[in-house]
Amino acid sequence: MRELNEKKIVVIPILLDNCKVPLFLQEKVYADFRTDFD
């Protein structure tokens, strides 16, 4: 909620394993590390 109020990004999400992404994170840009870290 703070991000919405302040209009700035607080965290950069990463995806390490296949999982269900929470609804509030589905629109976020994320680093996808499921297959290759490079």
Stretch 12-23: mean pLDDT, rounded? Answer: 86
Given a cut of 80, whether residue 36 has pLDDT beyond it is no
pTM of the prediction?
A: 0.47
Across the range 8-28, mean pLDDT stands at 83
- Tokens, residue 8: 């700035």
- First-to-last alpha carbon distance for the chain, in angstroms, is 32
Residue 4: pLDDT band with limits 50, 70, 90: confident
| Local structure of residue 14 (DSSP, 8 states) | E
